[in-house]
Amino acid sequence: MSENMVVIVTGANRGIGLAICELILKTNQHVKLYAASRAGADLGLKSAGSGSIKYPQLDVTKDQDIKRLAEEVKNEDGHIDVLINNAGVNTYPEHSPESVKQMLDVNYRGTYNMCKAFIPLLSKTGRIVNMSSVGSQLKIYSQHNAARFRNTQSYEDVEKIVEDYMEAVKTKKELASGFGDKGQGYSVSKACVNAITAVLARENQDLTINACCPGWVDTDMGGIMGKPPKEPIDGAKIPVKLGFGDISGTTGRYWANPGISDKGDGQVMAW
Protein backbone atom coordinates (compact mmCIF):
# COMPACT_ATOMS: atom_id res chain seq x y z
CA MET A 1 0.00 0.00 0.00
CA SER A 2 1.31 3.44 -0.95
CA GLU A 3 2.33 5.86 1.82
CA ASN A 4 2.26 8.72 -0.67
CA MET A 5 -0.83 10.58 -1.84
CA VAL A 6 -2.31 8.61 -4.71
CA VAL A 7 -3.38 10.81 -7.63
CA ILE A 8 -4.86 10.07 -11.06
CA VAL A 9 -4.83 12.54 -13.95
CA THR A 10 -6.54 11.54 -17.19
CA GLY A 11 -5.52 12.94 -20.56
CA ALA A 12 -2.08 13.50 -19.08
CA ASN A 13 -0.02 13.25 -22.24
CA ARG A 14 -0.24 16.85 -23.47
CA GLY A 15 -1.56 20.36 -22.95
CA ILE A 16 -3.27 21.15 -19.67
CA GLY A 17 -3.15 17.51 -18.52
CA LEU A 18 0.62 17.39 -18.79
CA ALA A 19 0.93 20.79 -17.09
CA ILE A 20 -1.29 19.57 -14.24
CA CYS A 21 1.01 16.60 -13.71
CA GLU A 22 4.10 18.81 -13.74
CA LEU A 23 2.59 21.27 -11.26
CA ILE A 24 1.46 18.48 -8.93
CA LEU A 25 4.93 16.96 -8.89
CA LYS A 26 6.58 20.36 -8.41
CA THR A 27 4.43 21.34 -5.43
CA ASN A 28 3.91 17.97 -3.72
CA GLN A 29 6.86 15.94 -2.48
CA HIS A 30 5.01 12.72 -1.68
CA VAL A 31 2.73 11.74 -4.56
CA LYS A 32 2.23 8.52 -6.44
CA LEU A 33 0.93 9.81 -9.75
CA TYR A 34 -0.97 7.80 -12.34
CA ALA A 35 -0.49 9.94 -15.45
CA ALA A 36 -3.01 8.22 -17.71
CA SER A 37 -3.43 8.58 -21.45
CA ARG A 38 -4.86 6.58 -24.33
CA ALA A 39 -1.40 5.51 -25.44
CA GLY A 40 -0.04 4.89 -21.95
CA ALA A 41 3.11 6.70 -23.01
CA ASP A 42 6.07 7.43 -20.73
CA LEU A 43 5.99 11.21 -20.40
CA GLY A 44 9.36 11.57 -18.75
CA LEU A 45 7.94 13.18 -15.62
CA LYS A 46 10.13 13.48 -12.54
CA SER A 47 9.10 13.34 -8.90
CA ALA A 48 10.47 16.07 -6.64
CA GLY A 49 10.43 13.84 -3.56
CA SER A 50 9.70 10.28 -2.49
CA GLY A 51 6.87 9.76 -4.94
CA SER A 52 6.59 7.69 -8.09
CA ILE A 53 4.93 7.88 -11.48
CA LYS A 54 3.03 5.33 -13.52
CA TYR A 55 1.71 5.68 -17.05
CA PRO A 56 -1.42 3.55 -17.43
CA GLN A 57 -3.16 3.16 -20.77
CA LEU A 58 -6.65 4.60 -20.42
CA ASP A 59 -9.38 5.44 -22.89
CA VAL A 60 -12.17 6.91 -20.76
CA THR A 61 -14.78 5.75 -23.29
CA LYS A 62 -13.83 2.10 -22.67
CA ASP A 63 -15.32 0.47 -19.60
CA GLN A 64 -12.64 -2.23 -19.60
CA ASP A 65 -9.86 0.38 -19.41
CA ILE A 66 -11.50 2.12 -16.46
CA LYS A 67 -12.14 -1.17 -14.68
CA ARG A 68 -8.56 -2.33 -15.25
CA LEU A 69 -7.10 0.87 -13.80
CA ALA A 70 -9.44 0.76 -10.81
CA GLU A 71 -8.39 -2.82 -10.06
CA GLU A 72 -4.70 -1.90 -10.40
CA VAL A 73 -5.04 1.02 -7.99
CA LYS A 74 -7.09 -1.04 -5.54
CA ASN A 75 -4.54 -3.85 -5.53
CA GLU A 76 -1.45 -1.63 -5.33
CA ASP A 77 -2.64 1.25 -3.16
CA GLY A 78 -5.99 0.41 -1.65
CA HIS A 79 -7.28 3.95 -2.23
CA ILE A 80 -6.82 7.19 -4.12
CA ASP A 81 -6.73 10.73 -2.77
CA VAL A 82 -7.26 12.91 -5.85
CA LEU A 83 -8.84 12.21 -9.24
CA ILE A 84 -8.53 14.89 -11.92
CA ASN A 85 -10.72 14.10 -14.92
CA ASN A 86 -8.94 16.11 -17.57
CA ALA A 87 -9.41 13.94 -20.69
CA GLY A 88 -11.46 15.77 -23.29
CA VAL A 89 -12.06 16.35 -26.97
CA ASN A 90 -13.49 19.13 -29.14
CA THR A 91 -14.40 18.19 -32.71
CA TYR A 92 -15.33 21.74 -33.80
CA PRO A 93 -15.92 22.78 -36.58
CA GLU A 94 -17.23 19.32 -37.43
CA HIS A 95 -20.84 19.07 -36.28
CA SER A 96 -22.63 15.80 -36.89
CA PRO A 97 -24.43 13.25 -34.73
CA GLU A 98 -21.25 11.20 -34.71
CA SER A 99 -18.94 14.04 -33.66
CA VAL A 100 -21.37 15.28 -31.00
CA LYS A 101 -21.71 11.77 -29.57
CA GLN A 102 -17.92 11.52 -29.42
CA MET A 103 -17.69 14.72 -27.35
CA LEU A 104 -20.46 13.58 -25.02
CA ASP A 105 -18.88 10.15 -24.62
CA VAL A 106 -15.43 11.52 -23.76
CA ASN A 107 -16.14 14.77 -21.96
CA TYR A 108 -19.28 13.90 -20.03
CA ARG A 109 -19.77 10.12 -19.89
CA GLY A 110 -16.05 9.42 -19.58
CA THR A 111 -15.88 11.81 -16.63
CA TYR A 112 -18.97 10.28 -15.02
CA ASN A 113 -17.76 6.70 -15.47
CA MET A 114 -14.37 7.54 -13.97
CA CYS A 115 -16.09 9.10 -10.97
CA LYS A 116 -18.34 6.09 -10.44
CA ALA A 117 -15.42 3.69 -10.68
CA PHE A 118 -13.13 5.58 -8.28
CA ILE A 119 -15.51 7.08 -5.73
CA PRO A 120 -15.50 3.75 -3.82
CA LEU A 121 -11.68 3.98 -3.66
CA LEU A 122 -11.46 7.61 -2.53
CA SER A 123 -9.99 8.26 0.90
CA LYS A 124 -12.03 10.05 3.57
CA THR A 125 -10.54 13.36 2.46
CA GLY A 126 -10.71 12.44 -1.22
CA ARG A 127 -11.24 15.00 -3.96
CA ILE A 128 -12.44 14.87 -7.54
CA VAL A 129 -11.84 17.65 -10.08
CA ASN A 130 -13.80 17.55 -13.34
CA MET A 131 -12.56 19.73 -16.16
CA SER A 132 -15.26 21.94 -17.63
CA SER A 133 -15.24 25.05 -19.83
CA VAL A 134 -16.54 28.58 -20.05
CA GLY A 135 -18.67 27.13 -22.82
CA SER A 136 -20.72 25.34 -20.17
CA GLN A 137 -22.45 28.59 -19.18
CA LEU A 138 -26.21 28.31 -19.49
CA LYS A 139 -26.85 31.65 -21.22
CA ILE A 140 -26.73 29.96 -24.64
CA TYR A 141 -29.80 27.83 -23.85
CA SER A 142 -33.50 28.59 -23.55
CA GLN A 143 -34.74 29.38 -20.05
CA HIS A 144 -36.38 25.96 -19.99
CA ASN A 145 -33.20 24.04 -20.78
CA ALA A 146 -31.08 26.24 -18.52
CA ALA A 147 -33.45 25.38 -15.68
CA ARG A 148 -33.21 21.68 -16.56
CA PHE A 149 -29.43 21.80 -16.21
CA ARG A 150 -29.60 23.73 -12.93
CA ASN A 151 -32.19 21.41 -11.43
CA THR A 152 -30.76 18.02 -12.34
CA GLN A 153 -31.11 15.63 -9.42
CA SER A 154 -29.75 12.43 -10.91
CA TYR A 155 -27.70 10.85 -13.65
CA GLU A 156 -30.98 9.99 -15.36
CA ASP A 157 -31.93 13.67 -15.45
CA VAL A 158 -28.68 14.53 -17.22
CA GLU A 159 -29.05 11.64 -19.63
CA LYS A 160 -32.54 12.86 -20.58
CA ILE A 161 -31.06 16.24 -21.53
CA VAL A 162 -28.42 14.45 -23.59
CA GLU A 163 -31.10 12.33 -25.28
CA ASP A 164 -33.10 15.43 -26.19
CA TYR A 165 -30.02 17.22 -27.47
CA MET A 166 -28.95 14.29 -29.64
CA GLU A 167 -32.43 14.16 -31.15
CA ALA A 168 -32.20 17.89 -31.90
CA VAL A 169 -28.81 17.38 -33.57
CA LYS A 170 -30.10 14.50 -35.69
CA THR A 171 -33.12 16.50 -36.83
CA LYS A 172 -31.15 19.77 -37.13
CA LYS A 173 -33.48 21.52 -34.70
CA GLU A 174 -31.02 22.61 -32.00
CA LEU A 175 -32.14 26.24 -31.96
CA ALA A 176 -35.84 25.40 -32.00
CA SER A 177 -35.27 22.89 -29.21
CA GLY A 178 -33.64 25.49 -26.96
CA PHE A 179 -30.03 24.30 -27.24
CA GLY A 180 -28.60 27.33 -29.01
CA ASP A 181 -27.49 27.37 -32.62
CA LYS A 182 -25.77 24.38 -34.19
CA GLY A 183 -22.18 23.64 -33.22
CA GLN A 184 -22.77 23.64 -29.45
CA GLY A 185 -21.83 19.99 -28.84
CA TYR A 186 -18.74 20.83 -26.83
CA SER A 187 -20.62 23.35 -24.70
CA VAL A 188 -23.45 20.89 -24.03
CA SER A 189 -20.95 18.19 -23.03
CA LYS A 190 -19.32 20.55 -20.51
CA ALA A 191 -22.66 21.75 -19.14
CA CYS A 192 -23.37 18.07 -18.53
CA VAL A 193 -20.06 17.83 -16.66
CA ASN A 194 -21.14 20.68 -14.37
CA ALA A 195 -24.55 19.11 -13.82
CA ILE A 196 -23.22 15.64 -13.01
CA THR A 197 -20.59 17.18 -10.71
CA ALA A 198 -23.37 18.73 -8.64
CA VAL A 199 -25.30 15.44 -8.61
CA LEU A 200 -22.28 13.42 -7.47
CA ALA A 201 -21.43 15.96 -4.78
CA ARG A 202 -24.95 15.67 -3.34
CA GLU A 203 -24.77 11.88 -3.45
CA ASN A 204 -21.33 11.79 -1.78
CA GLN A 205 -21.38 14.56 0.80
CA ASP A 206 -18.29 13.25 2.61
CA LEU A 207 -16.17 13.88 -0.49
CA THR A 208 -15.09 17.07 -2.28
CA ILE A 209 -16.18 17.08 -5.91
CA ASN A 210 -15.91 20.19 -8.10
CA ALA A 211 -15.73 21.25 -11.73
CA CYS A 212 -13.60 24.01 -13.21
CA CYS A 213 -12.74 25.96 -16.33
CA PRO A 214 -8.99 26.39 -16.85
CA GLY A 215 -9.48 29.43 -19.08
CA TRP A 216 -8.39 29.93 -22.68
CA VAL A 217 -5.14 28.01 -22.86
CA ASP A 218 -2.61 27.61 -25.67
CA THR A 219 -3.11 23.94 -26.49
CA ASP A 220 -4.18 22.05 -29.60
CA MET A 221 -7.78 22.22 -28.40
CA GLY A 222 -7.57 25.79 -27.13
CA GLY A 223 -6.17 27.00 -30.44
CA ILE A 224 -9.27 26.00 -32.39
CA MET A 225 -10.80 29.45 -31.90
CA GLY A 226 -7.65 31.57 -32.34
CA LYS A 227 -4.50 32.39 -30.39
CA PRO A 228 -5.05 31.75 -26.65
CA PRO A 229 -3.55 34.17 -24.11
CA LYS A 230 -2.57 31.60 -21.47
CA GLU A 231 0.09 28.90 -21.27
CA PRO A 232 -0.77 25.35 -20.09
CA ILE A 233 0.83 25.96 -16.69
CA ASP A 234 -1.64 28.84 -16.17
CA GLY A 235 -4.51 26.49 -16.99
CA ALA A 236 -3.23 23.99 -14.43
CA LYS A 237 -3.57 26.39 -11.49
CA ILE A 238 -7.29 25.99 -10.80
CA PRO A 239 -7.53 22.18 -11.05
CA VAL A 240 -4.43 21.73 -8.88
CA LYS A 241 -5.87 24.13 -6.30
CA LEU A 242 -9.12 22.16 -6.25
CA GLY A 243 -7.20 18.92 -5.87
CA PHE A 244 -4.72 19.99 -3.19
CA GLY A 245 -5.38 23.53 -1.94
CA ASP A 246 -7.50 25.08 0.78
CA ILE A 247 -11.00 25.50 -0.65
CA SER A 248 -12.81 25.48 2.72
CA GLY A 249 -14.72 22.30 2.01
CA THR A 250 -16.55 23.73 -1.00
CA THR A 251 -18.10 20.98 -3.10
CA GLY A 252 -20.46 20.58 -6.03
CA ARG A 253 -19.53 23.92 -7.57
CA TYR A 254 -18.09 25.32 -10.77
CA TRP A 255 -14.81 27.24 -10.43
CA ALA A 256 -13.22 29.67 -12.88
CA ASN A 257 -11.58 33.06 -13.16
CA PRO A 258 -13.77 36.08 -13.98
CA GLY A 259 -12.17 36.31 -17.43
CA ILE A 260 -10.87 33.50 -19.67
CA SER A 261 -7.54 35.36 -19.95
CA ASP A 262 -7.12 35.78 -16.18
CA LYS A 263 -4.27 33.79 -14.65
CA GLY A 264 -5.52 33.43 -11.10
CA ASP A 265 -6.32 30.19 -9.28
CA GLY A 266 -10.08 30.56 -9.56
CA GLN A 267 -13.20 31.18 -7.53
CA VAL A 268 -16.74 29.81 -7.39
CA MET A 269 -18.70 31.16 -10.36
CA ALA A 270 -22.25 30.90 -11.64
CA TRP A 271 -22.57 28.92 -14.83
Provide the residue-wise pLDDT of the chain in tens; the chain has 271 residues.
557 899 999 999 999 999 999 999 999 989 999 999 999 999 999 988 888 999 999 999 999 999 999 999 999 999 999 999 999 999 989 999 999 999 999 999 999 999 999 999 999 999 999 999 988 999 999 999 999 999 999 999 999 999 999 999 999 999 999 999 889 999 999 999 999 999 999 999 999 999 999 986 767 666 566 666 678 899 999 999 999 999 999 999 999 999 888 889 999 999 9
Instruction: Give me the pLDDT at residue 231, please.
Output: 87
Neighbours of 122 (CB within 10 A): 22
Instruction: Name the CATH superfamily housing domain 5-95+104-139+187-268.
Output: NAD(P)-binding Rossmann-like Domain (3.40.50.720)
Give the separation between CA 239 and CA 205, rounded to whole angstroms.
20
The C-alpha atoms of residue 260 and residue 238 are separated, in whole angstroms, by 12
pTM of the model: 0.95
8 Å CB contact between 33 and 53: yes
φ/ψ region of 38 (left if φ > 0, alpha if ψ in -120 to 50, else beta) reads alpha
**Burial per residue of 27-60, b for 16 or more beta-carbon CB atoms within 10 angstroms, e otherwise:** ebeebbbbbbbbeeeebeeebeeebebbbbebbb
Pairing of β 52-54 and β 80-85? unpaired
pLDDT value of residue 2: 56
- Kind of pairing, strands 31-35 and 5-9? parallel
Calculate the CA dihedral of residues 106, 85, 263, 256 and round it to 10 degrees. 80
Bridge partners of 35, per DSSP, are 9
Residues 246/219, Cβ–Cβ less than 8 Å: no
